Amino acid sequence: GRQTHYSAQLGALAPLMDWTRYMAGFWESRFDDLEDLLQRMDQ
């Protein structure tokens, strides 16, 4: 059978990687804030 090989230009993925890191930090912060709020509500 035929085989097709693809390659990615890793430099072109840099904006996606930056955005993913940013969003991961954003959501981590949001969940930390939610956890703090829920703990205060339990008191």
Model pLDDT, residue 26: 97
Alpha carbons 43 and 29: distance in angstroms, whole number: 22
pLDDT at 25 (0 to 100): 96
User: How far apart, in whole angstroms, are the C-alpha atoms of residue 17 and residue 19?
Assistant: 5
Please give the distance of CA 17 from its chain centroid, rounded to a whole number: 8
pLDDT at res. 12? 93
pLDDT band at residue 1 using 50, 70 and 90 as cut-offs: confident
Q: What is the model's pLDDT at position 19?
A: 97
> pLDDT for 14-37, tens place per residue?
999 999 999 999 999 999 999 999
Q: What is the C-alpha R_g of the chain?
A: 20
Dihedral sign, Cα of residue 19, residue 22, residue 24, residue 30: negative
pLDDT of res. 5: 95
The amino acid that residue 28 corresponds to is: E
